[in-house]
């Protein structure tokens, strides 16, 4: 920089600061995107309409009109719950009686899939999970001894239950009651 004039040095630092600003904006956008998308998913207009805060909700079967979450699988019947651990553990229960695949997946506020349990892993038993925070509030109630505990990396998150249905209309009488065994409640 010794050979540059003061005017040139000034422009060098100006351009450098612009590049750093662009880089920071880029990194911030990439970091924030999954968190913002999850926030809208859990608290946006659709979530509020479905009333899924710490309780299960049951969207309609996937069709071409399903435009809430990208790449919906037309072969899965979805059930959802936006969990919030600020006021204590959340209990997740389900007892689907099905021969086909089903699973319950949990997603952190940054969109990571931190837990999944499917029908085979559950060996035909009913699901009874206690979802607790990794850093619980002091006032948080303890879960009953011997509970099946899942630690969430974030205070809020999303539960997605998938039930395989290759012909919804033909299987409706079986898959609808099965998915409606899902309960999500403040413990």
Partner 1 sequence: MSKTGHWSLRAKRIAIGAALYLGAVVLGLGSAWWVLKKAPWLNPSVEVGPWRANMHAGNQDAGMYTRATVAVNALLALDRDETMYFVATRDDAGHALRAQCNYRISGVPPQARWWSITAYAEDLFLFDAPNGRYSLNGANAVLDAAGAFTLSTGPTEQPGLYWLPTPGQRPLILTLRLYNPAPALQAAPQSLVAPTVQKIGGCP
CB-CB contact of 58 with 179 (8 Å): yes
Interface of this chain with partner 1, residues 87 to 116, rule: CB under 8 A: 101, 103, 105, 107-108, 110-114, 116
Q: How many CA atoms lie within 13 A of 97 on its CB side?
A: 3
Nearer Cβ to partner 1 (87/151): 151
- Return the range that interacts with partner 1 (CB under 8 A); candidates 2-10, 37-45, 88-96, 125-133: 37-45
Min dist. Cβ of residue 94 to partner 1 (A): 16
Strand order in the sheet with 76-84: 76-84, 156-164, 102-108, 113-118
Residues touching partner 1, count (CB under 8 A): 50
Residues in the chain: 187
Alpha helices by DSSP H, the chain? 6-43, 45-50, 119-122, 168-179
CB of 129 to partner 1, least distance (A): 16
Q: Indicate the residue among 33 and 144 with the shorter CB distance to partner 1.
A: 33
Residue with token string 């309609």: 60
Does position 38 bind partner 1 by CB under 8 A?
Answer: yes
Three-state secondary structure call for residue 79: strand
* Radius of gyration for the chain, computed over Cα atoms and rounded to the nearest angstrom: 23
Binding of residue 151 to partner 1 (CB under 8 A): no
Shortest Å, Cβ 139 to partner 1: 28
| Cβ 37 to partner 1 shortest distance, Å | 5
């Amino acid at each position: 920089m010794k050979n540059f004039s003061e005017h040139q040095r000034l422009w060098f630092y100006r351009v450098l600061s612009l590049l750093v600003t662009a880089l920071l904006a880029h990194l911030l956008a990439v970091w924030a995107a999954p968190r913002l998308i999850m926030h809208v998913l859990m608290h946006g207009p659709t979530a509020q309409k479905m009333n899924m805060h710490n309780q299960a909700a049951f969207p309609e079967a996937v069709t071409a009109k399903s435009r809430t979450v990208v790449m919906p699988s037309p072969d899965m019947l979805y059930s959802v719950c936006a969990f919030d651990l600020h006021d204590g553990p959340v209990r997740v229960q389900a007892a689907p009686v099905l021969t086909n695949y089903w699973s319950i997946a949990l997603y952190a506020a940054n969109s990571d899939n931190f837990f999944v349990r499917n029908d085979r892993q559950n060996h035909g038993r009913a699901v009874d999970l206690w979802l607790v925070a990794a850093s619980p509030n002091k006032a948080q109630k303890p879960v009953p001894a011997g509970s099946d505990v899942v630690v969430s990396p974030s205070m809020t998150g999303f539960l997605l239950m998938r039930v395989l249905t290759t012909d919804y209309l033909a299987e409706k009488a079986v898959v609808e009651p099965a998915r409606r065994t899902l309960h999500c409640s403040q413990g």
